[in-house]
Amino acid sequence: MRRIFITLIALCTLSTVSAQGWLDKLKKVATEAVDKATDGTLTQLAVIGSWEYSAPAVKLDGEDTLTSLSGSALSTTLGTKLEGAFAKVGIVPGACSVTFNSDGTFTMPIKNRNLTGTYTYNNEDHSLTMVVGQSEKALNLKGFAYISGTNLQLVFPINKLTDFLVNIGSSVSSLSTITTLIKQYENIYLGFEFAKPATE
């Protein structure tokens, strides 16, 4: 805990702190504790930049979910099924990335498509809303953003994730087994885990 406070003091003395600078600090302290101590500001700053897709993300909240069927076993099962569904639309390592710009815009290349839009982040509850496209048919995708170590997790309720995959060309049926699996549980969020490019 002492190391966390020392890090926070160091961060507060800097006039400007880059997103990469925050990520470097994360390598030495407990991510969740620092983010909580900064009221979510850590994640708000750290999401800015470019990220490469690395794996599906599964976030289980709530004691009932974590203890039922063993949280880790459920997470592994969901991750495996998501991997197959994502591959159908080109969301695989090396073919998908996302860049969040400081002006509130984002780009997300996926295979042969390049999704663009705007985003807003609420540091109080970690909610991140992405508006994909800029017409009256734009997709409003509300999820949550978390920094896990030096990786970024973007997770969504299953219905929002389904909307997103349909938007980029996936069949809803590809997620039917996942929907069946999680319908008896609350507070399960699914999505994507991103890592910083190796060159950064």
- Per-residue model confidence (pLDDT) at position 7: 46
For residue 96, give the DSSP letter: B
Residues 6+ apart with CB under 8 A from 65: 71, 74, 185, 186, 187, 188
Highest mean pLDDT of the ranges 59-68, 77-86, 179-188:
77-86
Highest mean pLDDT of the ranges 17-21, 50-54, 169-173:
50-54
Check pLDDT > 50 for residue 30: no
Q: pLDDT tens, 126-156?
A: 899 999 987 778 899 999 998 877 899 999 9
Residues 6+ apart with CB under 8 A from 126: 40, 43, 144, 145, 146
Residue among 119, 113, 163 at smallest CA distance from 137: 163
Mean pLDDT rounded to a whole number for the chain: 78
Check pLDDT > 90 for residue 195: yes
> CB count, 10 Å around CB of 41?
15
- Per-residue model confidence (pLDDT) at position 130: 95
Q: pLDDT tens, 86-99?
A: 988 889 999 999 99
